[in-house]
Structures are given as C-alpha cells and as structure tokens.
C-alpha cells in the first residue's frame, strides 16, 4: 500500500475543524466585526458638524494619540478618515490575536495533546493539518473582510463609501491572515503550544510598538510593521490596495516557511532549542495544589498584567487634552455622564470612564483563571491531581484565591500606570487618591465576575462561556449605556453597572458590599456543586 500524499484527506480535516468550531468561529467573526464596525453609526453624533469634526481632527493630531492609534492623513479630516485613524490599528490587533489563537488551537495544541498522532495514524498527509487550517483561516479572514466592508457601507454615514469600506475590510483580513501564517511558523520553532502563542502575541505587541515609533519619527520603520503598513491604505481617501497585496505576499512566504519547517521536524519537537533547559526536579512549591495552580495560571496573569499597565499608561498620555475635548463633544458628555452646566468634575468623570474600560479588560485574566479549573478537567489532567491526596476544596480554593489576586493586581497595575503617566503630562495633575479610589470602586465588580466564574466552573462547566458573554454585555451596557440610552436600571443588572459612577456620583458602600457578598455566595455554591458532581474530561 503506497504512502498517502502530503496533503491527503485535507478536505476531511477542514470539515473536522469547522465541526469542532461551529460555534466559536461565528462568535469570533461577530465579535471582531462588532469591534471594527460598531462605532460607525455613532460618528454623526460624535463629529456630525464641521465644528465637531474639526475639534476631533485637532485632537487626533496630538502626538500621544498618533502613537496610540495612527497617523493623520487627511486634513481637514472626514468622518471616514478619522474613523480609520481611530479604529484600524486596534481592530487589526484584535483580528491578529483571533487568527493566532485559532491556528495554534488546531495545530500545535492538537499536537501536544496527542490528537495529531491519531490523525496521522489514518490516511492523512504530513502537511494535511497545515493545509486544512490554512484554508479555514483564509475563509474566516475573507468572510470578515467582506462583512466589514459591507457593514460599514450599510450605515450610510457621510464619506464612508463602498470603495473605502472594502479596502478597510481587506486590510483587516490580510493582516489577520499574515499573523495566522506567522503563528504557523511559530509552532515549528517552539516546543509547545503555550510558547508558540506567547511568542506570536509578543510579536504583535512588538510590531505595534514599532508602528508607534515609526508613525512618530520614521515612515520606513512604520511600513516594516503590518500595523503601520495597513494604515498606508489611506481608507476613505486615496484607497490604496498595494499594502494589502504586500501583506498577502508576506503571508504566502510565511506559509512556505512553515511547510518547510514542518518537513524538517518530528511531532512534539521544535526547530529551535528550548529557551531554557528544564530543571531536573520540580521545586517544592509545585508539590502542592497551590503552586501548581499558580504555575498554570502565571503566564496569563503576567501577560494581562503587563498589557493593563501599558494600556493604562497610554490612556494617561492623553489626559492633558481630554477635558477640553469632552466639553466640546456631546457624545462624550453622555458617555462620561458630565453635565457642563452643573460644573461637574470633568477630569474625574473621564478617569472614571477609562477605569471602566480597564476594569472590563481586567476581568479577562480573572475569568481565565477560574476557567483554568474547567480546562484542566476537560483535558483529563485533573484526574491525576485529585487522584492523589488533594481535596477538591483545596484545589477549588487555590484557583479562587488566584482569581481574587488577579482582580486586585490588575486594578493596582492599572491605577499605577495611569496615575504615573497622567500626573507627568497634565498641567494640573490628577490626584492619586482619585485614581486609586476609582480603581478600588470597580474592584467589587471584578470580584463579582470571579464569583460567577467559580460558580460556573464548579456547578456547570459546560456553560462556562456564560461568563464571557456576560462580560461582553456588561462592557457594552456600561461603557456605551449613555449613548445608547440604556436605562440606569438595566445597567445595574451588571456587576460594573451596579456600582456608583464615582466620582460623578457619590460613592456608596452598599452596592460594593453587596457585590462582595454575592461573589462569596456564588463561590460557595460552586464549591458545593464541585464536591457533588463527577470530574470528567
């Protein structure tokens, strides 16, 4: 019997990937689409008049905002060019992360978990899995590009035409596909799925920083970053397509490198030697469930902690101009809850709005930590832990404690990064007590999510995704509630919305204490259920 060709049965593997991700792929596409396009219908309210558009354009010329978002390429700006400057880079980063996570999940993760070995025992080719995921992710990026272009046009906003919308969507799709192929290269070079993911995501951050530096000082350096290159499409202005072609060409080169690397390595191995040699014996700290839980959760917690610090510091850089911008824009007054005629503290309101964003970001490592309990169970590794002299209570409490520590740590890093930079750039520096007080206020909401995550992990592991859905609803309702005219009672149905909008609203202890008590009750319900249910993969 002859050996199968290199790409034998790749169509069957495409069907398998689509079957496995029949729910998650549509969710990813909808989430990326909502982030990329969701602010378009609000543009007429934000910059619908020549005066508001001119004020927005003047603000976007701030060097700090150029570093954060991108270059100004049309003066005076149109709503389309302003939107591209504000959202294109950040949308591309989200799409890049989406592509990396999907590709690693269906390649190196399958390899590490032994699923690829089962596939290769069947009549499947050596590169069939690479071919299958390449086809699937290309289809996902093409679908996202088309949906983005058509959706932006559908809102009929002035200056956002079909030609500009399609090149905007194509740039997102091409950038995402390039990072998918970079992830394929990373899995050939590294020794595990976790290392490949960390390396690819680190590259995303590094290329973003390169883009920021290039936009400020060097056109050549900016173009070397995919995030800088996509800005040179000049959407809703000259609508250049050559950056899209360059990105697709670079993705093809990366795919060829990945296929070549896959041909020269054995499953489970890497082309590069490990960055550090493992210790012959584990530390004593790993001999208990607390140390193991920390070791498994540490990469996620540290990565998100660094991200929170950097993003908060970036927000701090624009604080010197935010007060005048909010006072000149009715939409931002609605978002922050500021009434100019009543003499509200604009600075405090802006800090409060930014802290809501950062608190929502901080919930991500909290839920990731609680879901780690379920993840280890699904992969069948929890049996090895609980099969020894480890009680379910201590295992559950270990992850619960880490989730609480993640919430507190994220708020501390956020407040520190924001205050350090904001106080340095502002003419009248914001008080540390205000920044840390707002962060402490929203900590209770994050603890509420920790309790929900623990309850779902302990009682209903199949529905752990509810925590992520609730977080998405919370962010939209609380952050955009003023603009979308969401009633205050509806906002209070979410953990972050239940809290008072301090300092715009007077701080109140009762919702803070109620959320902490609710978190404890949910965690105890989860623990009770965790004791009574079967632990299965």
> In this structure, what DSSP letter does residue 279 have?
P
- Provide the domain count of the chain: 2
Find out whether 435 and 418 touch, Cβ atoms under 8 Å: yes
Q: What is the pLDDT of residue 395?
A: 85
**Mean pLDDT value across residues 449-462:** 88
- Give domain status of residue 223, yes or no: yes
How confident is residue 473, by pLDDT bands cut at 50, 70 and 90?
A: confident
Residue 365 lies in a domain: yes
Q: Is pLDDT of 528 > 60?
A: yes
pLDDT score recorded for residue 329 = 60
**Encoding tokens for residue 409?**
């740590």
DSSP string, 127-189: THHHHHHHHHHHHHHHHHHHHHHHHHHHT--TT--HHHHHHHHHHHHHHHHHHHHHHHHHHHH
Q: State whether 259 and 305 are in the same domain.
A: no
**Structural domain that includes position 181:** 17-267
pLDDT of residue 8: 76
CA torsion through residues 51, 57, 63, 67, sign = positive
Alpha-carbon distances, residue 115 vs 16, 24, 118, 401, 476 (angstroms): 12, 19, 5, 33, 38
As a three-state string, the secondary structure of 517-532 is: HHHHHHHHHHHHHHHH
In the prediction, which pLDDT does 324 show? 66
pLDDT single digits (tens) 77-106: 888 888 898 889 989 999 999 999 999 999
From the list 173, 160, 178, the residue with the least C-alpha distance to 235 is: 160
Alpha carbon distance 364, 359 (integer Å): 9
Is 274 within the bounds of a domain? no
The verdict on whether omega for the bond into residue 503 sits within 30 degrees of 0, i.e. cis, is yes
Same domain membership, residue 300 and residue 168 = no
Q: State the average pLDDT for the chain.
A: 84
Task: Give the domain-ending residue among 267, 302, 329.
Answer: 267
Phi and psi torsions of 269, nearest 5°: -105, 175
**pLDDT bracket for residue 123 (50, 70, 90):** confident
The domain boundary, picked from 267, 296, 317, lies at 267
The Cβ of residue 113 has, within 10 Å, a number of other Cβ atoms equal to 13
Q: Is residue 276 part of a domain?
A: no
Q: Which two tokens stand for residue 272?
A: 């590069």
Look at residue 525 in the predicted model and tell me its pLDDT.
93
**Structural domain includes residue 303:** yes
Asked whether residue 203 falls in the same domain as residue 316, the answer is no
Compute the average pLDDT of residues 222-238: 93
For 241-296, write each residue's pLDDT tens digit.
Answer: 999 999 999 999 999 999 998 888 877 777 877 666 666 666 776 767 788 888 88
Whether residue 234 has pLDDT greater than 80: yes
Nearest Cα residue to 406 out of 437, 363, 448, 435: 363
Q: Is 160 exposed, middle or buried (0-12, 13-18, 19+ CB in 10 A)?
A: buried
Cβ neighbours for 493, distance < 8 A, ≥ 6 positions apart: 477
- pLDDT at 215 (0 to 100): 86
Of 171-180, 196-205, 420-429, least confident by mean pLDDT is: 420-429
Residue 75 vs residues 55, 321, 373: alpha-carbon distances, Å: 12, 20, 52
Q: Do 93 and 56 lie in a common domain?
A: yes
Same domain, 231 and 134: yes
Give residue 112's pLDDT band: very low, low, confident or very high (50, 70, 90): confident
232 and 93 housed in the same domain: yes
Q: Report the percent of the chain where pLDDT is more than 70.
A: 87
Show Cβ contacts of residue 23 under 8 Å, excluding neighbours closer than 6 positions.
none
The pLDDT of residue 258: 93
Given its phi and psi angles, is residue 481 left (phi above 0), alpha (psi -120 to 50 degrees) or beta?
alpha
Average pLDDT over residues 305-333: 74
Per-residue model confidence (pLDDT) at position 328: 62
Categorize the per-residue pLDDT at 1 as very low, low, confident or very high, splitting at 50, 70 and 90: very low
- Do 258 and 374 fall into the same domain? no
* Residue 132 covered by a domain: yes
Does residue 327 share a domain with residue 258? no
pLDDT attached to residue 248:
96
Query: In the prediction, which pLDDT does 443 show?
Result: 94
pLDDT the model gives residue 277: 60
Q: Alpha-carbon distance 39 to 62, whole Å?
A: 21
pTM for this entry: 0.81
Looking at 236, 267, 298, which one is the last position of a domain?
A: 267
Give, as one character, the DSSP assignment of residue 324.
H
Do 95 and 182 form a contact (C-beta atoms < 8 A)? no
The reply to whether 471 and 509 lie within a common domain is yes
Q: How far, in Å, are 89, 120, 259, 307 from residue 182 at the CA level?
A: 18, 24, 12, 21
Q: Which carries the bigger pLDDT value, residue 524 or residue 348?
A: 524
User: Which residue, among 193, 375, 190, has the nearest Cα to 297 in the 3D structure?
Assistant: 375
Whether residues 88 and 205 fall in one domain: yes
CB atoms within 10 A of CB 216: 14
Task: Give the tens place of pLDDT for each residue, 378-417.
Answer: 777 776 677 666 788 888 889 999 999 999 999 999 999 9
User: Is residue 5 domain-resident?
Assistant: no
261 and 209 assigned to the same domain: yes
**Residue 282 included in any domain:** no
Pull the structure tokens for residue 14. 């495409």
Residues 510 and 398 occupy one common structural domain: yes
Phi and psi dihedrals of 275, rounded to 5? -60, -30
């Amino acid at each position: 019997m002859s050996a199968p060709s290199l790409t034998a049965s790749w169509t069957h593997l495409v069907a398998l990937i689509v079957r496995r991700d029949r729910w998650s792929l549509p969710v990813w596409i909808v989430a990326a689409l909502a982030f990329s396009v969701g602010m378009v219908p609000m543009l007429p309210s934000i910059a619908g008049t020549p005066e508001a558009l001119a004020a927005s354009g003047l603000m976007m010329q701030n060097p700090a905002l150029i570093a954060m978002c991108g270059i100004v390429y049309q003066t005076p700006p149109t709503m389309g060019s302003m939107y591209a400057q504000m959202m294109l880079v950040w949308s591309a980063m989200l799409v890049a992360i989406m592509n990396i996570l999907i590709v690693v999940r269906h390649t190196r993760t399958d390899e590490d978990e032994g699923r690829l070995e089962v596939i290769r025992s069947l009549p499947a080719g050596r590169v069939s899995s690479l071919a299958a995921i390449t086809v699937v992710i290309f289809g996902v990026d093409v679908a996202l590009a088309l949906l983005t272009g058509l959706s932006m046009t559908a809102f009929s906003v002035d200056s956002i035409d079909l030609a500009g919308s399609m090149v905007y969507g194509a740039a997102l799709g091409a950038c995402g596909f390039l990072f998918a192929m970079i992830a394929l290269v990373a899995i050939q070079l590294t020794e595990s799925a976790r290392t490949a993911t960390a390396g690819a995501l680190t590259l995303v951050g590094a290329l973003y920083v390169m883009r920021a530096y290039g936009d400020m000082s060097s056109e050549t350096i900016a173009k070397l970053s995919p995030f800088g290159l996509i800005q040179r499409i000049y959407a809703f202005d000259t609508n250049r397509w050559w950056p899209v072609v360059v990105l697709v060409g670079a993705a093809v080169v990366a795919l060829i490198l990945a296929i070549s690397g896959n041909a020269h390595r054995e499953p489970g191995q890497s082309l590069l030697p490990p960055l550090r040699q493992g210790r012959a014996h584990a530390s004593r700290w790993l001999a208990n469930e607390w140390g193991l839980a920390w070791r498994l959760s540490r990469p996620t917690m540290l990565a998100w902690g660094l991200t929170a610090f950097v993003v908060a510091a970036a927000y701090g850089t624009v604080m010197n101009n935010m007060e005048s911008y909010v006072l000149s824009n009715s939409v931002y007054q609605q978002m922050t809850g500021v009434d100019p005629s009543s003499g509200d503290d604009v600075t405090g309101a802006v800090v409060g709005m930014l802290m809501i964003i950062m608190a929502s970001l901080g919930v991500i490592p909290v839920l990731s930590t609680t879901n780690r309990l379920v993840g280890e169970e699904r992969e069948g590794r929890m049996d090895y832990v609980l099969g020894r002299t480890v009680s379910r209570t201590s295992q559950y409490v270990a992850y619960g404690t880490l989730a609480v520590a993640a919430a507190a740590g994220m708020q501390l890093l956020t407040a520190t990064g924001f205050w350090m930079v904001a106080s340095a750039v502002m003419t009248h520096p914001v008080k540390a007590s205000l920044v840390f007080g707002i962060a402490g206020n929203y900590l209770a909401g994050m603890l509420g999510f920790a309790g929900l995550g623990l309850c779902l992990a302990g009682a209903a592991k199949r529905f752990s995704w509810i925590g992520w859905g609730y977080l998405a609803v919370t962010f939209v309702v609380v952050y955009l509630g003023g603009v979308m005219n969401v009633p205050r009672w509806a906002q209070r149905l979410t953990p972050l919305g239940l809290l008072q909008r301090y300092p715009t609203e007077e701080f109140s202890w009762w919702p803070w204490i109620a959320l902490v008590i609710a978190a404890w009750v949910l965690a105890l319900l989860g623990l009770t259920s965790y004791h009574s249910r079967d632990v299965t993969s």
